[in-house]
Each structure stands twice: as structure tokens, then as C-alpha cells.
């Protein structure tokens, strides 16, 4: 049985680590992404996700530099996303040190792009980030362009389409819960995990140790955590210890520099 993963999620803007609520509200700066990554490296987390929320040409070059520095400082797999629109973009990030890329808008604009990328790099390199929100009672839609543009896709239907296209895992990100630390969307997570054969990463909503446990009990293969790590006293060590006490199969604590 594969052990569950604990993944800090970093949002990068102008080379700095930032965090907002519901994607666009109450932005706070949270430090230097490379030095913060070193801290989590020493905690022995399983992976890190870096998301470039600026996603402009200048922002792309900035995040590439961040990734190059991070790859020299940390010794764990990491995923990079934000503004990826071509095979050349994927190649640039992998060459800079990323192990996987996370794609959202380009997949929605052209699903064949995912098939082409999976053929060239393999499914293990491709993560699909699904940003969604409730648009009316019980009705959810996927959003692109950093949460600004609504699509016609239901998140579960889109998850199935992307699995068929060849992606290796799905990140489910509830815009409504982003940065609110009110708990993951367990209903959506449970449905997606039961339906898909590929791993599902729960993102957006972690605010307590219990939230982390409930996400795994709902079928998540991994949990992505941002605000809870940045703005509370909860650390990856505390999360791992609590999950182990609840009989969730997590990797043993280790310092990845050892």
C-alpha cells in the first residue's frame, strides 16, 4: 500500500512567497520561497508544489530562477505550475529542476496538449490542477486563468477527461475554501477518489490536524497545505505524528539531508 504524502504548497509572485484567500483576496507575503523550502526540506516533507500565480513572461523567468535555486537547496521531488502552455514550457521547467509540472488553463483550452505532453514526458510528469467553485447550490464548475474564467466543465467530469488524456495525478482545489482553513471539500474528494484510478491530491482548506486526517479518510493520496503551515504553529512533523496516531499510513519522519 502506498504511503500518504504531505505536500507544502507555495504560491510565488514576483519571486516571493505569498498567500491569499479564495485566490484573490487578502494577499499576504510569507517570505522567501527558497529559504522556506529549505526549512521544509529539513522537516523531511514528501514533496513541494510551487505555483507561479503571476504567470507572465517576466514572472516565468523569475520562477525559473526560483526553481533553479530550490533544486540546489532541497532534496525532494517538487512540482511546478503556473502559465504552462507549451511543450517548450514543460521542458524549461524540467530542465530547471522540476520533477513534475502542474497544468490548468492550457489543458482546458486544448485537452490534446495533455495527450501530447504525456506521450513526450510520461504521465508521471503531469499533474492537472483543477480549480473549481460552487456557482449555485450543488452545482460546481471548473475555472481557468487563475480562477477568473468559468468553464462549462464539472470538476468530476473534467477529472475523468484528464485521466483519459494521460495525466498522472489530479490536484483538487476548491476556490471557495482556499486560504479559509475551514476544511477540505470532503464530498468532492471522496467522489473523485472513488471514480479515478490515478492519485488525487486534496488542496485548499486545511486548518487543523483533524482536517488532514479527514482528507485521507475520504480517499486522498496526498494533502497540499499552505496557510496552515505558514500562519499557524502546525508543522509537517506535527501533522505526520498526528496522522500516524490515527493509523494513517504516512512516511516515517526523516531529515532529507541525512
Over its length of 258 residues, how does the chain's per-residue pLDDT go in tens digits?
678 999 999 999 888 999 999 998 888 998 899 999 999 999 989 999 999 987 655 556 778 888 899 988 888 899 999 889 999 999 999 999 999 999 999 999 999 999 999 999 999 999 999 999 999 999 999 999 999 999 999 999 999 999 999 999 999 999 999 999 999 999 999 999 999 999 999 999 999 999 999 999 999 999 999 999 999 999 999 999 999 999 999 976 554 433
Q: What is the pTM of this model?
A: 0.94
Whole-angstrom distance, CA of residue 135 vs CA of residue 83: 24
Q: Do β-strands 126-136 and 100-103 pair in parallel, antiparallel, or remain unpaired?
A: parallel
Identify any residues that bridge with 4 across adjacent strands, giving them in sequence order: 250
CA distance 97 to 17: 18
Q: Coil, helix or strand for 236?
A: helix
Question: Cα(103)–Cα(79) distance, rounded to whole angstroms?
Answer: 10
- Burial environment of residue 137 by CB neighbours within 10 A (0 to 12, 13 to 18, 19 or more): exposed
The Cα–Cα gap between 48 and 179 comes to 17
What pLDDT shows up at residue 73? Answer: 87
Question: For position 1, what pLDDT does the model report?
Answer: 61
Residue 151 burial class via C-beta count within 10 angstroms: exposed 0-12, middle 13-18, buried 19 and up: middle
Enter the DSSP assignment of 207: -
Per-residue buried b or exposed e for 165-196, using 16+ beta carbons within 10 Å of the residue's own CB: bbbbbbbbbbbebbbbbebbbbebbbbbbeeb
pLDDT at 58 (0 to 100): 54
CATH number corresponding to 5-245: 3.20.20.70
Residue 57 has a pLDDT of 52
CB 245 within 8 A of CB 210: no
Amino acid at each position: 500500500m502506498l504511503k500518504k504524502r504531505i505536500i507544502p504548497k507555495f504560491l510565488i509572485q514576483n519571486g516571493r512567497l505569498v498567500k491569499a484567500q479564495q485566490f484573490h483576496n487578502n494577499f499576504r507575503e510569507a517570505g522567501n520561497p527558497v529559504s522556506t523550502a529549505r526549512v521544509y526540506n529539513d522537516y523531511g516533507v514528501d514533496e513541494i508544489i510551487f505555483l507561479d500565480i503571476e504567470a507572465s513572461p517576466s514572472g516565468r523567468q523569475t520562477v525559473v530562477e526560483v526553481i533553479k535555486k530550490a533544486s540546489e537547496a532541497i532534496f525532494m521531488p517538487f512540482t511546478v505550475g503556473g502559465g504552462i502552455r507549451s511543450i517548450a514550457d514543460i521542458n524549461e521547467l524540467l530542465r530547471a529542476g522540476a520533477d513534475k509540472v502542474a497544468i490548468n488553463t492550457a489543458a482546458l483550452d486544448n485537452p490534446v496538449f495533455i495527450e501530447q505532453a504525456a506521450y513526450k514526458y510520461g504521465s508521471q510528469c503531469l499533474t492537472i490542477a483543477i480549480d473549481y467553485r460552487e456557482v449555485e447550490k450543488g452545482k460546481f464548475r471548473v475555472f481557468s486563468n487563475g480562477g477568473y474564467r468559468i468553464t462549462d466543465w464539472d470538476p468530476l467530469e473534467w477529472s475523468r477527461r484528464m485521466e483519459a488524456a494521460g495525466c498522472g495525478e489530479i490536484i483538487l482545489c476548491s476556490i471557495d475554501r482556499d486560504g479559509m482553513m475551514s476544511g477540505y471539500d470532503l464530498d468532492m474528494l471522496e467522489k473523485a477518489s472513488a471514480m479515478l484510478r490515478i492519485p488525487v491530491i486534496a488542496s485548499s482548506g486545511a486548518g487543523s490536524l483533524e482536517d488532514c486526517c479527514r482528507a485521507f479518510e475520504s480517499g486522498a493520496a496526498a494533502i497540499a497545505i499552505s496557510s496552515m503551515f505558514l500562519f499557524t504553529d502546525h508543522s509537517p512533523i506535527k501533522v505526520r505524528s498526528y496522522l500516524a496516531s490515527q493509523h494513517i499510513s504516512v512516511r516515517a519522519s526523516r531529515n532529507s539531508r541525512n
